[in-house]
């Protein structure tokens, strides 16, 4: 089984232009993601996919394989699909370029489960929510799962809603940005019509559920912190220094 990791990044983010090249302890953010992904034992290849020459040149300097993609794509999933069409692979591992704290052992755990799944559209990760602020944060996507480990729903809202007050956090989970697709299902995903729930929540994974397909959730212990704005850089740098 050939497993290929893809890190899709673009320079022209509306909220944070140039984010992939933002420096963390002297290295661009995308390099932190790439270096950790290079430690993943299940990956046969690792590619940075971008539409920007600056990112291409910087990534090639630190030794990455880079593939230029179209500027028309609206999402990282579409960028991954363009690369997937051009390569040989059984599984595609989509890693987000703004998750510099993601750990190789977390990625490996998700891939290990995905290798055994035969009938799921996507395998992805979730981690326990730690406090009330995270639970209420609309930037933190929550997921509700069935007893056998499949996604029931994703939302930016606090779900499941705790009647009577939030007492414990053991049953509340945050979705993490690690996505493992069988190649043919990734290519199918980008042909599916965008659903109503996806439009409302602005969450791509809801497209899969709306069309009746299954998403396997892998519970992991290692949390991350994505970089959404320049204000997140100092917090992420502090965590990297502690490591």
Cα angle: 138, vertex 175, 23; to 5 degrees:
80
> What are the sequence ranges of the domains in the chain?
3-242
Can you give the pLDDT of all 243 residues of the chain as single tens digits?
A: 999 999 999 987 767 888 999 999 999 999 999 999 999 999 999 999 999 999 999 999 999 999 999 999 989 999 999 999 999 999 999 999 999 999 999 999 999 999 999 899 999 999 999 888 888 898 899 999 999 999 999 999 999 988 876 556 567 999 999 999 999 999 999 999 999 999 999 999 999 999 999 999 999 999 998 898 888 899 999 999 988
Nearest to 173 by CA among 186, 158, 188, 189: 158
Stretch (H or E) spanning 186? helix 183-189
Q: Which residues pair with 176 in a beta bridge?
A: 125
Stretch (H or E) spanning 137? none
Contact assessment for residue 141 and residue 234, using Cβ atoms and an 8 Å cutoff: no
- Give the gyration radius of the chain's Cα atoms: 17
pTM for the complete prediction? 0.94
Contact assessment for residue 48 and residue 58, using Cβ atoms and an 8 Å cutoff: no
pLDDT tens sequence across 198-215 = 999 999 999 999 999 999
Cα separation, 8 vs 84, whole angstroms: 12
CATH code for residues 3-242: 3.90.550.10
């Amino acid at each position: 089984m050939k497993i290929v990791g893809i890190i899709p990044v673009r320079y022209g983010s509306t909220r944070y232009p140039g984010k992939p090249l933002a420096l963390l302890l002297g290295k661009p953010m995308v390099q932190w993601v790439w270096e950790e992904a290079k430690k993943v034992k299940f990956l046969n290849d690792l590619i940075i996919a971008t539409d920007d020459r600056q990112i291409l040149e910087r990534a090639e300097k630190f030794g990455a394989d880079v593939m230029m993609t179209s500027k028309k794509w609206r999402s990282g999933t579409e960028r991954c699909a363009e690369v997937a069409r051009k390569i040989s692979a059984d599984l595609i591992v989509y890693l987000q370029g703004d998750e510099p704290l993601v750990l190789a052992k977390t990625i490996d755990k998700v891939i290990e489960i995905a290798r055994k799944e035969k009938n799921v559209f996507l395998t992805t990760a979730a981690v326990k929510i730690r406090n009330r602020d995270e639970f209420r944060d609309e930037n933190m996507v929550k997921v509700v799962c069935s007893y056998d480990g499949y996604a029931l729903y994703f939302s930016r809202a606090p779900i499941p809603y705790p009647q009577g007050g939030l007492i414990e956090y053991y049953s509340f989970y945050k979705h993490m940005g690690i996505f493992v697709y069988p190649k043919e299902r990734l290519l199918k995903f980008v042909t599916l019509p965008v659903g109503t729930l996806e439009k409302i929540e602005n969450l791509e994974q809801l497209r899969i559920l709306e069309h009746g397909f299954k998403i396997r959730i892998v519970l992991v212990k290692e949390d991350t912190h994505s970089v959404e704005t320049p204000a997140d850089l100092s917090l992420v740098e502090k965590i990297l220094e502690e490591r």
